[in-house]
Structure 1
């Protein structure tokens, strides 16, 4: 039985409490913001509860068991112009228990977190495994994993976003709206998402892992309306969601990276100036009103990291998930062109300039954790080495399929009542090894387009043929930015696109893009993941005009 079928069946049998929530934030109960600051269970209590579950699972016949006790906190603030639209705070608390019995997975979950309840839940998980064993064709093979004993890990934040008064957050968002209005925005909406995962993992391997994970995402959309012409243009935030605390919203000059001359754009590393970005967004939305509509054709593209991150996510991150390669996601989110057979042919995934690594370690990234949801210590590994596909993203029960002896530590569940499974780690394009800045990169382009920010996109189920837009576009002629363009999107296939990569700027330009709500699986789950890169050049890419002509 594959993971998709297992997830569906055990989801029906789990003793989980399903509660209404904001999209992508899990099954959480609305709570007063002050509750988000309550400490919850201490480590000794969690260990006692975990042992109750593990002992009951072994007594019922499990050969392996793990338990995740999770407290998931979230807060979202939404504003528009001078008004607060909504403030939502939520908490979800419970435990999920996964076991192997008779060579088969079983899972059950409960929101009644007591010794007796966890013992009963473990017994239900074993009963589920034994029932599933009737249709299991091959026993589960777990890669070996040593126990780490009692360890802990915490996102190295400076300021806990949940400790910041709601008024301070509202004031910042309203000031953001005002900055956009002062620069010509007709409408402005802004929001702030904050998540804290307090997760305790224990297993029969001998690990007791306590983790405290924080993530934050400030974002907005500025809209300019030309009522006489009946047109409007927008520009979204160029922020990246990050694995940081509220300090992300305290801008630091050292974190700013100037965009190419003639654009006024600014990139951000480990802090973000939302007021500066909002003012520029309104100005650029106004400029888009009069921007020249692009002429379709072949162009050299210069893609900045906030834009390129989404292309990496869709055309590298997803197709190299081993469960997708094996066909487990075919019913929902697709498969992958990069099969094991395709890899064995040594077909170039990209040019020699393309080295892409996976990791769960980068400071400030959304994927950064100490251990995954199988108790595997996280690491970095290479997926594409100078254009050659060398590895996939995999977890404990997949490693043997590709002849490996260890998990990559990228197993994750978005809630205590969900089954953990293979999720995308951070996947990042490595910066160029030779000194190269953005303006210098552009000097080598005779006919091209500079693209910043992520826009609409489309990609086929095999993650091969795709189309990507962006937020702002600038023409490049004879090595210089000349004018703003509009209605730009590019089309390619994954292999053609990455083989067209001619140069990547050096590490000075490196920064992160992020996806806060990346969906996958049945039942569907979300995860957060970052993608790092420096600005990169891609030669002779097909550009189309997206303007729709009516009449």
Structure 2
């Protein structure tokens, strides 16, 4: 697209005011959206800049150095009913230098991305490392890592979302809002987030890695009000944020996956039909106004992937982060019940049907990259195998603690000015190897509840005792859907829940849920992560009524 043509379609963008307070999104300078179309820097230039930092750090006494040069682009389009509320375009550009000197980490960042600026940041990082070494008790031990030379990785997108005229994005969101209002919504808002991370990594291991990463998230909220009673109900979009381009918003029939017969739920895999979902959401919120309130008790739960992703995130993803297990996150995010001592006892984490893997490879996932922010080539590895905890998530300076010799490639920083550290990769439940549809899964349920979409939740600091809600709920009676329910949440602990797993659907039902803003660390950083699963059944789970007063 020519810049002149793009200008004619971006008039709305000139009204951008400020970045909304969404963790991890839009951090940077608000800019003309045309800036987001500028080409990335030449890798040869970035190599010269990185070498300036690597050489300066070595001369100052560093025994290891890595450099990250990053350009981070964000755009958000925000609407409500018939109005555009805000359009935000931002750009952040700079470099971070991390070193080991006297066996201790040091880090410094700069937005002066010149050879002199890079060298100065490297020298400062070494000074910080040497100062830190005075109180360092043990020297940093890095797992060995081969250098890859000059390599690159690009997200396999079909259409760069930043190249799509803002008018087209606004039209999509306002059309979605109109569909909701036409079908009886009282209030509706819709949002489209887009992210592009242009990241260059270099290290004294001999790697020069250029990566181009894209993410997109269309979402909405629909509310219906009963004016007579004042009662209201809402539903959020059943979209998943994805590591895809704008092609995600071109719906394909093959990517639609129906929930159980009688549930009026449709899930989405690699493309998303926003107009269809918002019409269905509007019908569902009106039905929710008169839906039967759940009777508390024990139920078999059939959980849709868009719902189960949050439960996986909180009860498996976080407790198996090795830094949390070791107590490094205790002050901010808590610890984990799944300690090294607990793992050594061999107690089951879940039933034999539970096989959970970590990865940063799955195409279209939020975590998919070629290399992490330590220059480690990404991979897949087992966390839980046939119900047994077999491994954690770890990076280069943690591997030796658990007797391993390589990083898992799950180190990440949210920007050039933040130090990289261990972050959750994609954590996913493998689908059944045996053919199993959602209807097949429901047939065996005598008394249960089908839940789709993630809602409010609570979990303790050890990631053990928890409570999860959802977006829509349907009663299951004698193997069939028997009408909508409301006021549903289930309470459990992590081990009870995963040991109650009775099986999943096959790969034809496998989908991602995901999160743009998983927070961790001090100062807090945000990362994006996906969780794959198929619809899964859990037996005998305690369900409460959230509307009842205690």
TM-score (norm 1): 0.96
Q: Distance in 1 between matches of 2:83 and 2:99?
A: 49
Q: Name the CA distance, whole Å, in 2 between partners of 1:439 and 1:40.
A: 49
1:463-478 to 2 correspondence within 5 Å?
Answer: 463-478=463-478
Is the Cα–Cα contact under 8 Å of residues 26 and 89 in structure 2 kept in the other structure? no
Q: CA deviation at 1:96?
A: 0.2
| Number of matched pairs | 532
Partners in 1 of 2:421 and 2:193 — Cα distance?
A: 24
Residues of 2 paired with 1:151 and 1:111: CA distance? 24
Q: Take 1:411 and 1:59, find their aligned partners in 2: how far apart are those partners?
A: 26
Aligned to 2:445: 445
| SS of equivalent to 1:214 | strand
Q: What are the residue-to-residue correspondences of 1:497-536 with 2, within 5 Å?
A: 497-536=497-536
- Find out whether 1:110 has 2:96 as its counterpart: no
After TM superposition, the structure 1 = structure 2 runs for residues 117-516 of structure 1, keeping only pairs within 5 Å, are 117-516=117-516
SS at match of 1:401: helix
Query: Does the residue aligned with 1:54 lie in a helix, a strand or coil?
Result: helix
Between the aligned partners of 2:393 and 2:362, the Cα distance in structure 1 is 17
The reply on whether 1:56 has 2:60 as its aligned counterpart is no
Aligned counterparts of 2:187 and 2:217: Cα–Cα separation in 1: 21
Q: 1:148-173: per-residue Cα shift (whole Å, max 9, x none)?
A: 00000010000000000000000000
Q: Deviations over 1:132-153 (max 9, x none)?
A: 0000000000000000000000
Tell me the secondary structure at the aligned position of residue 234 of structure 2. strand
Hey, what does 2:6 align to over in structure 1? none
Asked whether the equivalents of residues 250 and 271 of structure 1 are also in contact (C-alpha less than 8 Å), the reply is: yes
Aligned to 2:27: 27
Contact 1:201 / 1:375 at 8 angstroms: preserved in 2?
yes
Aligned mates of 2:115, 2:146 — CA distance in 1 = 26
**How far apart are 1:182 and its partner, in Å?**
1.6
CA RMSD of aligned residues (A): 1.0
> For the Cα contact (< 8 Å) 2:426–2:529, is it kept in 1?
yes
How far apart, CA to CA, are the structure 1 residues paired with 2:56 and 2:70? Answer: 19
Q: TM-score w.r.t. structure 2 length?
A: 0.96
Aligned-pair CA distance for 1:548: 4.5
> Distance between the aligned counterparts of 1:446 and 1:41, measured in 2?
60
CA deviation after TM superposition for structure 1 residue 264, in Å: 1.5
Identify unmatched segments of 5+ residues in structure 2: 1-17
| Alpha-carbon shift at residue 27 of structure 1 (Å) | 3.2
Q: Quick check: 2:349–2:384 contact (8 Å CA) kept in 1?
A: yes
Runs of 4+ more than 6 Å apart: none
Describe the SS at the equivalent of 1:307. helix
Q: 2:370, 2:377 within 8 Å by CA — same for their partners in 1?
A: yes
1:324 partner SS: helix
Kindly provide the CA deviation profile for residues 362-395 of structure 1, in whole angstroms up to 9, marking residues without a partner as x: 0000000000000000000000000000000000
Instruction: Give the conservation status (yes or no) of the 8 Å contact 1:26–1:414.
Output: no
Deviation at 1:227, TM superposition (A): 1.1
What are the Cα deviations for residues 1-54 of structure 1, in whole angstroms up to 9, with x where unaligned?
xxxxxxxxxxxxxxxxxx977432253000011100001311010000000000
Q: Distance in 2 between matches of 1:285 and 1:40?
A: 45
Aligned to 2:15: none
Per the TM alignment, residue 252 of structure 1 is displaced from its structure 2 partner at its CA by 0.4
Cα deviation digits, residues 177-207 of structure 1 (max 9, x gap): 1111122111100000000000000000000
Q: Where do 5+ consecutive residues of structure 1 fail to align?
A: 1-18
Measure the CA separation in 1 of the matches of 2:365 and 2:63.
35
Compared CA separation, residues 482 and 342, structure 1 to 2 (3 A): same
Tell whether the 8 Å contact from 1:26 to 1:415 is kept in structure 2 after alignment. no
Counting only pairs closer than 5 Å after superposition, residues 36-75 of structure 1 correspond to structure 2 as 36-75=36-75
Question: Is the 1:198–1:211 contact (alpha carbons within 8 Å) kept by the matching residues of 2?
Answer: yes
| Partners of 1:353 and 1:20 in 2: CA distance | 44
1:433 deviation in Å? Answer: 1.1
Distance (Å, rounded) in 1 between the aligned partners of 2:259 and 2:296: 25
